[in-house]
Structure 1
Amino acid sequence: MGKKVLIVGLGLIGSSLALAIKKEHPNVKIIGLDIQKSSEEFALKRGMIDEIGGKLEDVAPISDVILLCSPVETVKSQLVKLSKLPLQSNVLISDVGSVKKEIVDTANVLGLKNFIGGHPMAGSHKSGVSAGDERLFENAYYILTPQKDTIKEKIEELQTLLSGTKAKFVTLESEEHDKITGMLSHLPHVIAAGLVNQSKEFNEQHQGAKRLAAGGFRDLTRIASSDPRMWTDILLNNKEVLFELIEEWQEVMNGVKKWLKMENQEAIFEFFATAKKTRNQMPVHKEGALPAFYDLFVDVPDIPGVIAEVTGILGKHELSLVNLKILETREDIFGILQLTFKRQGDLKRAMEILRNETSYLCYEE
């Protein structure tokens, strides 16, 4: 048997990492730990792990690699426990948290010299061990934040172990990582949640708003559906970065408010023109700090059974949808069926299948 890899936390990320490691390195022995016994049993039954670990203090000392796939605060507590155990001298430890400086600093203070922070920038609308997917990280960025004295060979060892993820590895300093994800992920989640909460109060006073919000507003605020416990954890562990970003956002909104009061058409126009130009220069369909989704549009006749026909064809070919929405349905004309996929490859395959098996017009935007 090859290396012993301990995965602590068998949720979406932990179980998906187990599958990816197992696929590329079948000789690796994967030991799984989770606070939910049912998750451990599910992972063992499905072949995600080779063994249920029992207690951290029992299995950590015999492990060659330890992957902590828990919330940030929990990871910090686990690092404290690991620092008190007789670990192997060359053990490699990593995590998957969305905040890195707090975790890397904790490991450094505790003297865990072979700790490398990790953040796979991938997710799903599903959660838990049953959502484990060996392709979850495919083409996504996987950020590594080693300590300053981490040797190159250890970074390469971790990348080799995780090669089955098919992810794109990027190395950053932990502080830089937190600033970037704060701007590109954490602040947008705060703003999205704020908009949704504001609309809740608005909807109570304007009953027609709830129905109209089902379109673009719902898409704009999609990330507000994220796990509230996880995001509480993330915000509290990246609060210094968010203090600055929220203040800057408030200054921007105050500027817009000022321009409206002054009816400053030039400033308002420039505000939107700059945003349009900047967004148009962003990479299209690249995995980044926010979960990526890919939309396929299908012009379908407004007749009974057409949606079942399309979804049935996709189901037959084992293509999974993240979301399905009808953008327009009126009598005697074509409606627009929006099909959302997690991977661009699934979108391309779905478009090819529907074009071959139906007469419907399929396209991206």
Structure 2
Amino acid sequence: MNGRVFVIGLGLIGGSLALCVKKEHHEAVVVGFDINGEQARLAKMLGVIDEIAENIDDGAIDADLIIIAAPVNETKNIIRLLSELPLNPEVIVTDTGSTKSKIVESAASLTKKGITFIGGHPMAGSHKSGVSAAKEILFENAFYLLTPEEYIEGSRVERLKEWLIGTNAKFLTITPGNHDYLTGIVSHFPHIIAASIVRQTEKLAEAEGLIPRLAAGGFRDITRIASSSPAMWKDILLHNREILIELLDQWQIEMNGVKTLLEKENSAAIFDYFQQAKQFRDGLPQKEKGAIPAFYDLFVDIPDYPGVVSEITGFLAKERISITNIRILETREDINGVLVISFQTEEDRQRAGRCIGSYSSYSTSIGI
């Protein structure tokens, strides 16, 4: 396909989508705009985009596809601005926001003028941010949710998929309301729970100084998502407040049930509670990408001597395997330490395990 694609917001998601479009549609011209001019210049320098738009007006007027990759509140403002411009009548406007109902409602200002708006949510991410972290493989095998309203012609949805075919994502078409309910359950709500666990632990740590030290290992792992952007999650929660309030009410009932089991010392019921949770969790797909970005961690048992970390990273460098994070678990019961190395993909994690095994006698394992 040829034409002009305008990407508004050149962070991880916007930059990665730009790369996907360029990979598949060589004749297309990808134009980018970011409120941070340095990000836009970096995107041009890295070849993520072909041209820089000085403002949204200049980039949008002649575009055949407009991708809004901005925070949900800012997306609504951008949609309002676009509705005031003389856009190409055949343009398709889409977004990448984590909530859909209110964004699709705000797009009525576009649809009244005959402009096609199709809500979108690529369910992929990374531990890194910014256009320098953009990758054309970011969305491979990830779910990409599209939320067109009922009157949107199927041919327009198919055209958007064609523009985005380079993502190699799994496209699902659902309603905006269904999107917000599903992502509320499997993404928004878990972020609230993770943050609440951390907040409670922080309060308890005021009276018990050992808590931060003991929480350095597995506790950090199970609460990782609490480190997500506070500004972003403030907006997401407010956009999806009705569904999240309902889920929190259900959670309180669930926790009251556990409390009752403990009060009654119901050993069999407690066992069943954890058994059912284990069975459901173990039955979840292990290789598919879901609503929360996966953490591809490799655990390496290492002896405690100077230079061991650089030795391990040297093995990976020889094989040109990139890592996204590395740390040592501080809580351990024996003399050996545990090095935790994070990777961008499952393939990289598997390659790293084979690499380290071939160069050394260190044992490796992955978290499940």
TM-score (norm 1): 0.94
Q: Which residue of 1 aligns with 2:254?
A: 252
Give the secondary structure class of the aligned counterpart of 2:7: strand
Maintained 8 Å contact 1:107/1:113: no
Q: Shift of the alpha carbon at 1:67?
A: 0.2
2:244 to 234, 242, 245: 242
Where do 5+ consecutive residues of structure 2 fail to align?
A: none
Give the secondary structure class of the aligned counterpart of 1:267: helix
- What amino acid does structure 2 have at the position aligned with 1:337? L
Q: Which residue of 1 aligns with 2:182?
A: 180
Name the CA shift for 1:329/1:265 in 2 (closer, same or farther; >3 Å): closer
- What amino acid does structure 2 have at the position aligned with 1:48? V
Describe the superposition over 1:67-87 as per-residue Cα deviations: whole angstroms up to 9, x where unpaired. Answer: 000011111111111112111
Give the secondary structure class of the aligned counterpart of 1:275: helix
Maintained 8 Å contact 1:92/1:115: yes
Where do residues 185-334 of structure 1 align in structure 2 (5 Å cutoff)? Answer: 185-327=187-329, 328=332, 330-331=334-335, 334=336
Question: Aligned equivalents of 1:48 and 1:344: distance in 2?
Answer: 24
Q: Percent identity?
A: 48
Question: Aligned equivalents of 1:226 and 1:10: distance in 2?
Answer: 19
- What amino acid does structure 1 have at the position aligned with 2:199? N
Q: Shift of the alpha carbon at 1:259?
A: 2.3
Describe the superposition over 1:155-212 as per-residue Cα deviations: whole angstroms up to 9, x where unpaired. Answer: 2211121122221111111111110100000000001011111111111110011100
Describe the superposition over 1:33-54 as per-residue Cα deviations: whole angstroms up to 9, x where unpaired. Answer: 1111111111111111111111
Maintained 8 Å contact 1:102/1:237: yes
Question: Aligned equivalents of 2:292 and 2:270: distance in 1?
Answer: 27
Describe the superposition over 1:3-62 as per-residue Cα deviations: whole angstroms up to 9, x where unpaired. Answer: 100000111111111112112222211111111111111111111111111122232121
Maintained 8 Å contact 2:83/2:109: no
Question: Aligned equivalents of 2:320 and 2:140: distance in 1?
Answer: 18
Maintained 8 Å contact 2:82/2:110: no
Maintained 8 Å contact 1:321/1:339: yes
Question: Aligned equivalents of 1:362 and 1:216: distance in 2?
Answer: 17
Question: Aligned equivalents of 2:210 and 2:102: distance in 1?
Answer: 45
Q: Which residue of 2 aligns with 1:11?
A: 11
Maintained 8 Å contact 2:89/2:115: no
Q: Shift of the alpha carbon at 1:300?
A: 2.9
Give the secondary structure class of the aligned counterpart of 2:141: coil
Q: Shift of the alpha carbon at 1:358?
A: 2.5
Q: Shift of the alpha carbon at 1:335?
A: 4.0
Question: Aligned equivalents of 2:333 and 2:253: distance in 1?
Answer: 42
Q: Shift of the alpha carbon at 1:113?
A: 4.4
- What amino acid does structure 2 have at the position aligned with 1:262? K
Q: Which residue of 1 aligns with 2:362?
A: 360
Where do 5+ consecutive residues of structure 1 fail to align?
A: none
Q: Shift of the alpha carbon at 1:315?
A: 2.6
Q: Which residue of 2 aligns with 1:159?
A: 161
Name the CA shift for 1:290/1:119 in 2 (closer, same or farther; >3 Å): same
Question: Aligned equivalents of 1:340 and 1:11: distance in 2?
Answer: 21
Deviates more, 1:347-356 or 1:10-19: 347-356
Give the secondary structure class of the aligned counterpart of 1:205: coil
Where do residues 341-352 of structure 1 align in structure 2 (5 Å cutoff)? Answer: 341-352=343-354
TM-score (norm 2): 0.93
RMSD: 1.8
